[in-house]
Amino acid sequence: MVDHDPELLRSQVSLADYTTWRVGGPAEWLAEPTHKDQLIELISWAHQHQLSWRVIGAGSNLLISDAGLAGLTICLRKLQGMNLNGETGVVEALAGEPIPTLARRAARAGLHGLEWAVGIPGTVGGAAVMNAGAQGGCTAERLLSVEVIDALPNGSENAAIRILNNAELDFSYRHSRLQDCDLMVISARFQLEPGHDPKALSRATSSNLNHRTTTQPYQWPSCGSVFRNPEPLKAGQLIEALGLKGHRIGGAEVSPVHANFIVNNGSASANDILSLIALVQKEVENNHGITLHPEVKRLGFSQTITH
């Protein structure tokens, strides 16, 4: 059982090691399941103890309060595994599988469609929830379905597993229905194009990664792009036009390399980052008349920023 498994369930664990920004206070309880059957047990345990719960993946696109998180935090980064069918192009992957690993494996198998994903610092589950995208591609274009845990089906105390297809996920730019409900993604199925040259796909994948690493500040902790692009405009260009590159609050800095990145220069707190996000929003609103909407998800804060 969950209570008697110290390797699965731990208390007062710093969450700074679980986010790409390297900030965040302790989790009251933290679990890192390695099998799908542990997930329902964990949710049931949280309900029995009247604890709130939430799910995190690789911790990219995530800002956790310096005060930490009450209740149960379930980290899925150890829930990994994939199956690629080279003939049909159907790919299945567990939620904690890193999306760059899946992209490389698909390329080596001659499956076209995920080359854009090699530089996304997240997991398969996170990509489905956020409709992650880059280089002109996005998750919604290739996703067939997701397997989810419905924590409270019809008001019941027992969780249930469901399958949702692409049309049921209401995908839009960097958004899906999964952001607005208590459904935990545990796996996803993708339809890729089989029969392509693995060497050519691998070259394209490497080229995409090289472009990202040379134009974005990968040497510093960040969450990737902070703001959604207000299409057809680019958030980074709007911020850069205001001379905000290099602007700092505490240890948080608008990257001199790419203005839509806020980096932790080694001493940032979560509050530093939150304050800098709010400042950038205010400056862009005042000078351009445009509200920038953050891609980043915030957990544990009472202070608000515009969504």
What residues are annotated to the active site? 174, 225, 295
Token pair recorded at residue 264: 């932790």
Three-state secondary structure call for residue 140: helix
| Rounded-to-integer distance, Cα 111 and Cα 74, Å | 32
- Residue 45: closest CA among 180, 212, 157: 157
- Inter-residue contact 144 to 90 (CB < 8 Å): yes
| Rounded-to-integer distance, Cα 293 and Cα 259, Å | 15
Q: At what angle do helices 198-215 and 99-108 cross, to 10 degrees?
A: 150
* Residue 136 one-letter amino acid: G
- Inter-residue contact 8 to 33 (CB < 8 Å): yes
Positive or negative: CA dihedral 29, 30, 34, 40: positive
Beta strand ranges found along 33-142 (DSSP E) = 53-56, 62-64, 69-75, 82-84, 90-94, 133-134, 137-138
Count the neighbouring beta carbons within 10 Å of the beta carbon of residue 236.
21
β-pairing, 160-165 vs 143-150, is: antiparallel
| Rounded-to-integer distance, Cα 124 and Cα 131, Å | 10
